[in-house]
Amino acid sequence: MPGAFYGLSIRDSSNELGKTEWNIGDLTAGTIAGALTQMGALKAAIDAVTIGTVASERWGDNDVISNAIPTDGAAQRGVKWNVLIEDSVTHLKTTNYVPTANLDLLPDAPGGGKLEDLDISAGAGLALKDAIEDLVKYPGTGNAVVVLRVYYSD
């Protein structure tokens, strides 16, 4: 499947869907098994950093996973992780989004409050970084990507 993508729809507490889609390059008979494993890892990593309900996933068709509405009222599709990625060859940059960010994962700021960047050197942030870098290809070039930053915005 040339130019394939992997996407998730994530339901928020208002029963609205937010979407995240990632370019994963070409899928062939020789790469599909590994890609399926990597898709599972990315889905698990995204689930670990969000508080919404993963409603469906797609990579050629749309598989319904859950119609459940999150019980956490803070699960809003507009509260998202911005994921800044860089093409490992051309160094072009782009940003992708993951809805219903779990802001409890943000580190505490000195003097109170929270920092806006998810720690991508350990825990759920590192799992997300690794899963993206293992599967995602830069749009238009198909090159590997490097996750530079994951940060909160609404």
Q: Which of 24, 2, 20 is nearest to 11 (CA)?
A: 20
pLDDT one-digit tens code per residue, 53-95 = 999 999 876 667 889 999 999 999 999 999 999 999 999 999 9
Segment 125-142 mean pLDDT: 96
pLDDT in tens, 104-119: 999 999 998 899 999 9
